[in-house]
Structure 1
Amino acid sequence: MFSQKGYLLSFIKYGENDAVLHCFTEEEGFRSYFLKGIYSKKNKKKAFLLPLNQLNITVNNNKDTGIKTISKFEMVQLNDIYTDIKANSVIFFVADFLNQILKNESKNEAVYQSIQELADQLQRKNYHSHLIFLVKILTIQGVSPLLGEGKYLNPETGVFSASGTHHLFDAEVSLLWKTILSASEPYEIVISKILRRNFLDSILVYYHYHFSDFRIPDSLEVLQQIFE
């Protein structure tokens, strides 16, 4: 038997009672697991299937190279952010986001700790923390913009230049990118409500250029409606 912690990114119902879980784990990075009987009438643990819920997962430690079966799983801790509609919409969006960009990611302690950091910020009702988080992930992955003297960020090259190359990356949005990238405590940065929509759009454009097959998360529309 082998146990480890992991954040649930997504899950798919399989048959009548089973499911396949996609998780980002502390020790192995992105992993998929088979979970038997989770949708049976007597199983109360289906309530654990929440995006970015941190789980203690136990699997059979065999040499089978196929998808491993979970023998036991528990929540690491109770978290009341799922009862907060704003925090909940952020969680669904981030989980959808990470589910696609981390699919080939092996063990990465910085990513794992950053997810916990985001959960802590949402607990404190920092509802624009996902914007900071997504920039931090770019830095961890080694594809964040290079700081320079230019006023405008070129999203394709990741370089600041003297003239604009994309309508979303105006001087104001580009300055916010610089501020976050250079801050020692980026979560303390206050982003105005007016600027948040454009900044998030700029992040999505940047990811499109730097992650192959990147798609806009389906949960974006719900996120935007909640924060209108």
Structure 2
Amino acid sequence: MTQEVFLLSYTKYGDHDAVLHCFCRENGFESFFAKGIYAPKNKKKAFLFPLNELLLYTSDKKKSIQNVQKIEQKNVDFFSSDIRKNSILFFVSDLLNQVLRNENQNVGIYSEISIFLSQLQIDNFQSHLIFIFRLLKQQGLQPLFSDKTYLNPETGNFEDIEMHHFFDKTISDIWKDLITSQDPYSIKLSRTEKQNFLDSILVYFHYHFTDFREPRSLEIIKEIF
């Protein structure tokens, strides 16, 4: 059986093995056991970086966790050693590893990840912000547009009164622009707007995802961008 997956995270198991936590095109979130991937002569351990798109060949036997018989990289040389891109990949994969844990098949989310990676590949260094916003739409959590001024992050509605200090008129207007834009990846944000919008969207996630925590690489993202 062949699975197309994005690698979200992995856990080393013993000296040579690992458990891979992935988002699959067909099955949503799923974990796999990669035996021997850390063996000294196994070059496939180089494939273990965040959001790498992989082809996993697994047995057809139904187990709680399937064994990987063969692993291939779908897009060879997709990313360079650019520290900015790698920082974004770590940040987004950490966030997805939290919010997609209970997600079943969702081709829309899989496609959104592909679009985000394509944007990052062409040096769109705010693509992670747009992607995280678009993820809300795929999960039915995008705010409802209205003519009112301030977004209430708890209810997902716009209101006449500011309900949270991270959601002032400027940031609420950015949310409105993203909701209505046909091409949100083309929207340009200043450095200050990027940081403030990121703060606002993490607050929104705290309200709408149980036990959500800030990704570990958040401070690095803020320093770089």
Shorter-normalised TM range: over 0.9
The one-letter code matched in structure 2 to 1:123 is: Q
Partner of 1:154: 152
2:28 is the alignment partner of 1:29: yes
Aligned to 1:54: 53
CA contact (8 A) 1:20 1:33 kept: yes
Amino acid at match of 1:52: L
**1:50-199 matched pairs, under 5 angstroms:** 50-64=49-63, 66-199=64-197
Q: CA RMSD in A?
A: 0.8
Once residues 18 and 78 of structure 2 are traced to their aligned partners in structure 1, the CA distance between those partners, rounded to angstroms, is: 24
SS state of the match for residue 13, structure 1? strand
Show CA shifts across 1:59-98 (max 9, x none). 111133x111100010001234241211111111000000
Q: Runs in 1 of length 4+ with deviation above 3 angstroms?
A: none
SS at match of 1:83: coil
Superposed CA deviations along residues 87-117 of structure 1, whole A, max 9, x for unmatched, are: 1111110000000100010110000000000
Q: TM-score, normalised by structure 1?
A: 0.97
Question: Which segments of 5 or more consecutive residues in structure 2 lack a partner in the other structure?
Answer: none
Post-superposition Cα deviations, 1:179-202, rounded to whole Å, max 9, x if no partner, equal 001101100101111211110000
Distance in 2 separating the partners of 1:26 and 1:82: 25
What is the number of equivalent residue pairs in this alignment? 225
Gaps of 5+ in 1: none
- Local SS of the residue matching 2:137: helix
**Aligned pair 1:216/2:186, yes or no?**
no
The 3-state SS of whatever aligns with 1:34 is strand
Q: What is the percent sequence identity of the aligned residues?
A: 49
Asked if the contact 1:81–1:122 (Cα under 8 Å) also holds between the matched residues in 2, the reply is no
- In the TM superposition, what is the alpha-carbon distance from 1:224 to its structure 2 partner? 1.5
Contact conserved, 1:147 with 1:159, CA < 8 A, in 2?
yes
Q: Distance in 2 between matches of 1:100 and 1:208?
A: 12
**Counterpart among 198, 201, 204 of residue 202 in structure 2:** 204
Kindly indicate whether the alpha-carbon contact (under 8 Å) linking 1:4 and 1:57 is maintained by their aligned counterparts in 2. yes
Distance 1:96 1:63 in 2: 28
The residue type paired with residue 137 of structure 2 is T
For residue 102 of structure 2, give the secondary structure of its aligned residue in structure 1. Answer: coil
1:155–1:209 CA contact under 8 A, matched in 2: yes
Following the alignment from structure 1 to structure 2, what is the Cα–Cα distance between the partners of residues 114 and 174? 23
Contact map agreement 1:17 1:40 (CA 8 A) in 2: yes
Corresponding residue number in structure 1 for 2:17:
18
- The separation in 1 between residues aligned to 2:222 and 2:77, in whole angstroms, is 24
Contact 1:27-1:107 within 8 A present in 2 as well: yes
The whole-number CA distance in structure 2 between the counterparts of 1:215 and 1:93 is 12
Following TM superposition, by how much is the alpha carbon of 1:48 offset from its aligned partner in structure 2, in angstroms?
0.4
CA shift in 2, pair 1:128/1:87, >3 Å:
same
Q: Which residue of 1 aligns with 2:4?
A: 5
